[in-house]
Every structure is written in C-alpha cells, then in structure tokens.
C-alpha cells in the first residue's frame, strides 16, 4: 500500500520536520506516510462549520427536556464561549505542531507517550461516537422523509449504512475532492437552516420563549446545569479542524482564521436555530414525543417543528426541507469521518494503535486502512441501534464527555510547553494570552462536572473504554512506538533525553 | 510562509487598542467564570437570597455571556487579520 516514496513531508519550507537530522530510513518513512497540503481558509471554514452543523439539526433539543428554552439558551451561550476560547487556544497548539495526530502530538511532546495516547484516544472516542450518532440521525431524517407519521427503524438503519458506505468511498478518493464537496454541502446545510428559520417565523411567539417562570419552578438554576451536556452537541467536533493542520497550506494563518470564522458563523446559527425552534413550538414537544404511553427522544426536531406548524401542510416544504436537511447531516458526517480516520491514522503511524492503521494509499495519499476500520465500527454500532433505542443520546454524551477530557488536558500541555519551549509558539499566539486558556479549563471542568447529575449514565461506559485502551497501550503498544512518526520525532527533538530505546 | 508573515508572528499584539481590548476581555472572562460559580451554587442551594429577581439574574448572566462572546470575537478577528 505504500511502496511509492514521495517527498511530501519535506516539500513545505515551514515544515517543523525539515530541520530534523533524520536518518535516510526515517526520511523515507515520513515521506511514505505523508499527506497532501491543499487546504486553505475557505476549506478550513467549511470543514469547521460542516463538521458541526449537524448539531443544529438534532441532539441539542434533548436539553430542552424538563429544562425549558431559557435554561437551554444560557447553557448554549456558555458552550459557545467555551468553544470560541477553545478554538483560539487550540490554534496555538495546532500551528505549533501541525500534525494529523493533534492531541497525540501535544500530550506526547508536553509530558510523555502515555499522556499522548490518552489524549489521542479521547479524541478518537469523541469523533467515533459523534460519527455513530450522526449516521443514525441521518438515517432518522431519511426514514422521516419516507414516512413522516411512522418512521421505520429498519429504514433508518439501512439509510445510515448507505451513508457510511458512500462517505467511505469519498474519503478514500482524496482530501481535496472531499474538501470541495464539503464546501457545497456546508452551503446546503446553511440554506436548510435559513428555510427552517423562515418557516418557523410564521408561527413564532415570544410567550413560548420568555416563559413564566423563566426557569422551571421544580429545578430552578439546576435546569441550566442539566442542559449543558446536550448544549455541547451544538459545537462539539469543531476541533477536528486542528487535525487538518498537517494538510493545510500556511497553517499559522489558515488554521486560526478558518477556525474563528467557522466559530462565529456557528454561534449565529446556534442562536437563530434556538430562537425560531423554541418560538414555534412548545419546548417540551421539541425534546420528546409520547408513543404508546412512553416518552421517546425526538431525533429529527426541525422536521417535526415544520410538520407541526400551519405552513407545514405544504408537502413541498416538508419534503424540500427534509431533503436539504440531509446536507447538514452528511456535511457533519463527512467532517467526523475526517476526524476519526485522521486520529486513528496518526495513532497507527506512531505505533500507539496497530501499525496497519497508519498506512496511506500509494497514489491518492489517503489513510485507507483507518477509514475502513473506523467505518466498520460505525456500521456495527448503527446495526446495534436496532436493539438500543437510546443509542443516539448515549453516543452524543460519550462524545461530548471524552471531548471535555482532552480539552482540559490540552490546555495543561499548552501551559507546560509555553514555559518549557516558548520558541515553539513563535508563529501564532492566542489573544488574551493567560486568561483565555484558563477559561477553557474552567468552563470545560464546569461542563464535565454536570455529567454527574444527568439521567443517562455514560460515565461507566466511558471509563470502560479508557480502561480497555490503557491495557492495550501498556501491554502491547508501549514498547513499539515508531520514532520516525512526526509526533514522536518532534517530541524527541525537543527533549533529547527521550531519544533512547523504548522500554 | 511568505516573507511578510515571517516578520511578525500572527497573533502578536500590535496596537495599544488591541492591548486594552485584550485586558477588558480578560476581565469579562473572569466575571463569566465567577457568574457560573454563583449559578452552580444557586442550583444546589436555591434558598440563597442574591437580592435580585430571577428575571434580573437571567438577564444579567445573558448579558455577561454576550459581552464575553462579542469581545473574544473582536479580539480574535483583530489577531488573525493579515498585517501589512
């Protein structure tokens, strides 16, 4: 799969590895495992918005259950601030270490391979579970389109599997081709939201938003805390863009500009979607539906709202919106596949996961093995959804919880590296230099803390996934790390004492 | 990277206005964190009297969060603009 050496890794004069004193076999290994660098600001913006825009279409609405619209708004703005500060702080790390391994590289360089593995694994779990949730939700929207009154769970699963297969092929095809598709899908997803806002505005009432009391009497401010884990779904996964740094042209400018513009776009989308959704329908009905005397989560909230309001009597609007909404789902699915596959690729390339995951296609330079492996896991979980109807809620919560874990760890790495290697951050420095990363840590800790109070118990599942991974790392991978992988190489350059045989 | 970009790192503080904005933004972020601490306390000890109605508290925290978002956005955009 990788017989064709190409000098891609050293083609860029700003490549941090260019100055490395490499052995010929290490240089050959890097060249053989290198990605192209075609991404510019528009591509990064599209990747950021597209990866996250699914959050506007489903998932967030579960936070309205028992909490009301005002609590959801406060939780959403807290999350918007968390992500705005997070992408800026992440840009500093991402530009300093523009590798597909992202968090793996940060933890590896700041502390040691164990932390690198934990951070890389966290991001893998975040992306993998988000991919599963989004594939299922895409299938849910398709099932809704085919039968709005009684969406068939089997149709949902088959449609989700079709999505997995189509995007596997597209990703194997090539990163530039994906990026062009991503830009157009992102435009389509935003158009879908605009159609929703206009339709929902025809049935808008402030009384549904500014309720009396503002917060549910039984819960008070606790309702804000309960809404936070679901509000995270608005914006989680935007950090997959950091993984694109290895494939970005001029990453020191492309990554921060693309990320900031993407984040600002998303904040506008979040507020307007919340406003028009909650203004058009009672918030409790947006969150859950009662079927056979049981409450079930609503997996296609915007379509449900459109169908319920008077303008939704038009079949053209219902089916037109449902069709365009698919752009939102598949745009995000596309970005999540990017994140999942790049993380497993980087961890395989560096020896933290089985080595075959780190191979790239000889001519297209895409990580085929990692794409196949992660798509297979997604497909298996999609099929398992037939037995676990709460799969989407669980996947959303595991994804957001594992995300928060590595956000906090990444900020720790930033502080360690700023003190130990200030020259590393010469190409980009985040604004509000000290307070901003501290804010990220505190807001992430706040968001992680509220998981202890929600109904869906995801902490044991998440802990199990970390335990399995750590057993793998300590007993099988720890002694087999590849010194020639970019994440390993730069870590060893920075700390020469580490350049010794692995234990 | 082109020569112009090499001369000044992206994100380095360039003007006095930017420094002032960064300082104000930092203060607002600290206030947001303090407000969230109060919110958490109010969630678990609802009988605390803060001297404000619920509506005033909601408007206050929404205003603080909006100010934080606006300031961080402005500072971030100024930081990522192409310098001449």
Q: Supply A288's token pair.
A: 């859950």
SS3 A190: helix
Q: Distance between CA A248 and CA A250 in Å, rounded?
A: 6
Looking at residue A481, what is its pLDDT?
83
DSSP H/E element including A295: strand A294-297
Contacts of residue A40, Cβ cutoff 8 Å, sequence gap at least 6: A248, A249, A254
Tens of pLDDT, residue by residue over A370-412, are 999 999 999 999 998 888 777 778 888 899 899 999 999 999 9
Cα Rg for chain A, rounded, in angstroms?
22
Looking at residue A27, what is its pLDDT?
63
The residue whose two tokens read 């601490």 is B37
Chain A, residues 438-457, CB within 8 A of chain B, namely: 439, 442-443, 446, 449
Burial of A326 (0-12, 13-18, 19+ CB in 10 A): buried
Looking at residue B7, what is its pLDDT?
43
Mutate to test the interface with A, among B80, B82, B83, B84 (most CBs of A within 10 A): B80
Looking at residue A352, what is its pLDDT?
92
Tens of pLDDT, residue by residue over A7-38, are 333 344 445 554 455 566 666 665 665 555 56
Q: Supply A153's token pair.
A: 């769970």
- Cα angle, residue A103 at apex, residues A83 and A174 outer, rounded to 5°: 90
Looking at residue A29, what is its pLDDT?
62
Q: Distance between CA A22 and CA A27 in Å, rounded?
A: 6
Contact call for A221 and B26, based on CB within 8 A: no
Contact call for A221 and B39, based on CB within 8 A: yes
What is the complex's ipTM, to 2 decimals? 0.87
Mutate to test the interface with A, among B10, B41, B55 (most CBs of A within 10 A): B10
Mutate to test the interface with B, among A431, A439, A452 (most CBs of B within 10 A): A431
Dihedral sign, CA of A214, A219, A224, A226? negative
**Number of C-beta neighbours around residue B42 at 10 A:** 19
CA atoms within 13 A on the CB side of A58: 29
Portion of chain B with pLDDT greater than 70, in percent: 77
Which residues of chain A are under the pLDDT cut of 50? 1-14, 18-19, 497-503
Q: For residues A174-206, b (16+ Cβ closer than 10 Å) or e, as one string?
A: bbeebbebbbebbebbbebbebbbebbeebeee
Looking at residue A236, what is its pLDDT?
86
Bridge-partner residues for A295, per DSSP? A290
Dihedral sign, CA of A55, A56, A61, A64? positive
Task: Indicate the DSSP class of residue A498.
Answer: G
B3 pLDDT band (50/70/90 cuts)? very low
Chain A, residues 55-74, CB within 8 A of chain B, namely: 70, 73-74
Q: Distance between CA A216 and CA A64 in Å, rounded?
A: 11
Contact call for A429 and B12, based on CB within 8 A: yes
Contact call for B46 and A220, based on CB within 8 A: yes
Looking at residue B11, what is its pLDDT?
53
The residue of chain A nearest to residue B31, with distances taken between CA atoms, is A439
Contact call for A429 and B11, based on CB within 8 A: yes
Contact residues on chain A for B62, CB-CB shorter than 8 A? 73-74, 77
Nearest residue to A351 (alpha-carbon basis) of A108, A73, A138: A108
Tens of pLDDT, residue by residue over B17-58, are 888 999 999 999 999 999 999 999 999 998 888 889 999 999
Bridge-partner residues for A288, per DSSP? A297
Looking at residue A429, what is its pLDDT?
85
3-state secondary structure A378-411: HHHHHHHCCCCCCHHHHHHHHHHHHHHHHHHHHH
Looking at residue A11, what is its pLDDT?
41
């Amino acid at each position: 799969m990788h017989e064709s050496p190409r000098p891609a890794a050293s083609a860029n004069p700003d490549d941090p590895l260019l100055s490395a004193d490499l052995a010929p076999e290490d240089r050959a290994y890097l060249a053989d495992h290198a990605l192209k660098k075609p991404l510019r600001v528009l591509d990064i913006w599209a990747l950021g918005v597209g990866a996250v825009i699914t959050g506007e279409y489903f998932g967030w609405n579960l936070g309205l259950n028992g909490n009301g619209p005002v609590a959801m708004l406060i939780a959403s703005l807290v999350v918007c601030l968390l992500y705005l500060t997070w992408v800026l702080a992440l840009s500093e790390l991402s530009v300093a270490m523009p590798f597909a391994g992202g968090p793996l590289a940060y933890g590896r360089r700041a502390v040691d391979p164990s932390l690198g593995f934990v951070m890389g694994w966290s991001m893998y779990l975040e992306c993998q579970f988000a991919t599963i949730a989004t594939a299922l939700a895409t299938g849910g929207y398709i099932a809704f389109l085919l039968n709005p009154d009684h969406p068939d769970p089997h149709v949902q699963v088959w449609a989700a599997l079709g999505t997995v297969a189509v995007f596997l092929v597209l990703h194997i095809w090539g990163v530039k081709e994906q990026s062009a598709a991503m830009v157009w899908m992102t435009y389509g997803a935003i158009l879908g939201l605009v159609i929703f806002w206009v339709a929902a505005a025809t049935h808008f009432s402030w009384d549904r938003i500014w309720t009396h009391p503002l917060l549910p009497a039984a819960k008070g401010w606790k309702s804000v805390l309960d809404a936070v884990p679901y509000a995270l779904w608005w914006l989680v996964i935007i950090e997959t863009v950091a993984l694109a740094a290895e494939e970005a042209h001029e990453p020191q400018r492309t990554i921060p500009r693309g990320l900031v513009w993407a984040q600002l776009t998303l904040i506008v989308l979040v507020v307007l979607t919340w406003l028009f959704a909650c203004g058009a329908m009672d918030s409790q009905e947006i969150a859950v539906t009662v079927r056979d005397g049981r409450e079930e989560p609503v997996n296609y909230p915007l379509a449900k709202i459109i169908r319920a309001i008077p303008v939704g009597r038009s079949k053209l609007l219902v089916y037109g919106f449902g069709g365009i909404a698919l752009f939102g789902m598949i745009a995000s699915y596309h970005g999540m596949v990017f994140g999942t596959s790049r993380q497993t690729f980087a961890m395989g390339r560096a020896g933290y996961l089985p080595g075959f995951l780190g191979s790239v296609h000889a001519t297209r330079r895409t990580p085929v093995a990692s794409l196949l492996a992660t798509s297979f896991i997604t497909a298996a979980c999609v099929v398992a959804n037939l037995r676990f109807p709460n799969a989407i809620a669980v996947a959303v919560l595991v994804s957001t919880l594992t995300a928060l874990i590595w956000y906090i760890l990444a900020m720790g790495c930033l502080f360690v590296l700023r003190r130990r290697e200030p020259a590393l951050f010469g190409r980009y420095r985040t604004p509000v230099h000290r307070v901003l990363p501290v804010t990220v840590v505190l807001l992430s800790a706040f968001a992680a803390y509220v998981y202890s109070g929600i109904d869906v118990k995801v902490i044991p599942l998440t802990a199990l996934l970390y335990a399995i991974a750590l057993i793998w790392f300590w007993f099988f991978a720890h002694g087999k790390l590849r010194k020639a992988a970019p994440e390993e190489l730069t870590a060893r350059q920075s700390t020469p004492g580490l350049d010794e045989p692995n234990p | 990277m082109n020569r112009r970009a090499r001369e000044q790192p992206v994100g380095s503080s360039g003007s006095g206005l930017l420094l002032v904005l960064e300082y104000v933004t930092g203060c607002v972020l600290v206030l947001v964190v303090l407000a969230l601490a109060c919110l958490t306390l109010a969630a678990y000890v609802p009988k605390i009297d803060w001297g404000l109605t619920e509506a005033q508290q909601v408007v206050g925290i929404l205003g603080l969060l909006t100010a934080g978002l606006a300031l961080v956005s402005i500072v971030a955009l100024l930081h990522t603009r192409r310098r001449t």
